[in-house]
Amino acid sequence: MTDPEEDLTPEVPLPIFQISQKVKRYQLYDIKAVTWLRRTHNILGVLIGGLPQSPQQNVFLGLPLELQPEEVRYLVETGIAYIVDDLKNHESALRSVPRQLEKHKEILREEGMAAARAFEKQKQQKTKEVLQRLSVRQPAPDLEIATNGDDSLFDTPLSRNSIRKAPDLVPYFSTPTTSYPPFPAPPQHSPPLLPDVSRPSYALFKHLHSKGYFLSPGLRFGCQFSVYPGDPLRFHSHFLATSADWDEELELLDIVGGGRLGTGVKKGWLIGGVEKGPVNDDTKHGSVTESMGSGEEEIAGEKVRTFCIEWGGM
C-alpha cells in the first residue's frame, strides 16, 4: 500500500517556467507541486488562472501559480527548483515533435486501456452484485422438468460459436493535466538561471521565511510583503513588510504613513534591511556567500535587522 504523502510529493527539482523575456514572470502549472510547496516550504505565490466553469469572475482563481522573484530565487538556491526559459524550451520541443508524438500517443493509449479495463471490471462487479441481490429476493425457477423431459430445449450441446464473447475493449481517450509526465522534464540550465532581485528585498524575504513566516505580495496594503504567522487560509497577516538599504534615507511622512496604515488594519509596519559592517561572534548565525546563498539571517556576512513601527493612540 502506497503512502499518501508520497503520492502528493512531486519530483525534485521542479521546473519553474519563465514566460516573459522583458518583464520576467515565473509560473508553476503542476497542482501537486503547488500544494507541496505551500505545505512544506511556506511558498504561496498567486493563482492567476481562470476557472473553466466560472470564466467571467476573478474572485476564485486557479492554475497557473505565479511566484515572486524572491520565492523563485530561494527555491533555485536551495535546489528545490530550476528555471526553464519557456521560449527556448518551446522552440526545441517543436523541433522534436515528430519524434515524441508517437511516444505520446502510445502513453495515452496505454492509459486509455487501463481506464477501460478498470471501468469494465467495475461494471462486471456491479452486475454481479445486482444478480446476487435478485437471487436472494427471488428463488431460482425449477428447471428439473425442462432438463429431464423428452422435449428438452437443450438436446444438442452448445457449440463454441454460440457462446457470446465479451466485447473488445476500446481504449478511452483522455487529455493529461500535466506535460511532465508524460513527457520528460525540461533539461536544467548550467549554470542555473537566477532571477534578478534587489538585495534588500531578498534579504528581508529570506530572513522572515527562515523564521517560519508565509509571505505574499503586499501591493494592496502598500508594502512589499504581507507577513503571515501561518497559512493565510488560517491566519491574518501580522506585518506589512518593506525593505530598504541600511543607509537609505526615509521620508518622515513615509514612516508616519506606514505606521498609521499598519495600525489601521491591525498590523505592524515592518521595515528591514542588511546591517552594514561585520557581524561579531555573539550575533553570528552562519556564513553566506556573495551570491545570496544559504544563510538564514546573514547576507554576505552581514546581519539582517528589522524594525516594527506602530502608531499609538489609534
- Catalytic-role residue among 26, 202, 228, 238: 228
Question: 290 CB contacts (<8 Å, ≥6 apart)?
Answer: 300
Could you confirm whether 236 is annotated as catalytic? yes
Give the CA-trace dihedral at 49, 52, 54, 59, to 10 degrees: -20
Whether 41 is catalytic: no
d(CA 10, CA 26): 18
Catalytic residue among 236, 238, 266, 303: 236
Bridge partners (DSSP) of residue 299 are 302
Residue/partner pairs of 274-277 with CB below 8 Å, 24 or more apart: 274/199, 274/200, 274/203, 274/245, 274/246, 274/299, 274/300, 274/302, 274/303, 274/304, 274/305, 275/246, 275/302, 275/303, 275/304, 275/305, 276/246, 276/247, 276/302, 277/302
Sequence letter at residue 273: G
Q: If DSSP states are collapsed to H, E and C, what string results for 33-44? A: HHHHHHHHHCCC
> What would the grid cell of residue 227 be?
507577513
Is 207 part of the annotated catalytic residue set? Answer: no
Measured CA to CA, the distance from residue 71 to residue 83 in angstroms comes to: 12
Beta strands 239-243 and 268-274, pairing class: parallel
Residue 215: enclosing H or E segment and its boundaries? strand 214-217
Rounded Cα distance, 125 and 85, in Å: 49
Cell numbers given for 73? 530565487
Which of these is catalytic: 206, 207, 267, 303?
267
8 A C-beta contact, residue 232 and residue 261: no
List, by residue number, the catalytic residues: 228, 236, 267
